[in-house]
């Protein structure tokens, strides 16, 4: 079992719709959860981080965390073509807050 799992996609979403990206993790002691966006050939950039169970909203983005189910998701409302990218889920290893484990990413394609 991979430490952080994501569906590789591609996930195709019509422009203006809600894109839902999912991630599961295996380390029950993980405390910090991050979503990065990566355009092709570019470096990852942080979109959201979440530390507590529940929802966290920032503009069009909402991160959701359920530690009991070891599940974290990212919702993108009113999807735009510029949201087309690979989204990386990252989780810290328990006992090592600076040590992130990345999923392989989900390719999101927004259809105009």
Partner 1 sequence: EAQVTQNPRYLITVTGKKLTVTCSQNMNHEYMSWYRQDPGLGLRQIYYSMNVEVTDKGDVPEGYKVSRKEKRNFPLILESPSPNQTSLYFCASLAGDRDTQYFGPGTRLTVL
Residues that bind partner 1 (CB under 8 A): 8, 32, 34, 41-46, 49, 51, 88, 90, 92, 97-100, 102-105
Min CB(15)–partner 1 separation in Å: 27
C-beta of 25 vs 79, nearer to partner 1: 25
Strand 11-14 and strand 106-111: pairing? parallel
Min CB(16)–partner 1 separation in Å: 29
Strand residue runs (E) in 1-112: 4-5, 11-14, 19-25, 33-38, 45-50, 54-58, 61-66, 71-76, 85-93, 96-102, 106-111
C-beta of 79 vs 92, nearer to partner 1: 92
C-beta of 79 vs 106, nearer to partner 1: 106
Min CB(12)–partner 1 separation in Å: 20
Q: Report CA torsion sign: 62, 101, 93, 28.
A: positive
């Amino acid at each position: 079992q991979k430490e952080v799992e994501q569906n590789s996609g591609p996930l195709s979403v019509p422009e203006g719709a809600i894109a839902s990206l999912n991630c599961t993790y295996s380390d029950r002691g993980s405390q910090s959860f991050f979503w990065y966006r990566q355009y092709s050939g570019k470096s990852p950039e942080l979109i959201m981080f979440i530390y507590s169970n529940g929802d966290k909203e920032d503009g069009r983005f909402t991160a959701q965390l359920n530690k009991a189910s070891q599940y974290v998701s990212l919702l993108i409302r009113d999807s735009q073509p510029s949201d087309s990218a690979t989204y990386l889920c990252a989780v810290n290893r328990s006992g090592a807050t600076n040590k992130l484990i990345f999923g392989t990413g989900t390719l999101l394609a927004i259809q105009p």
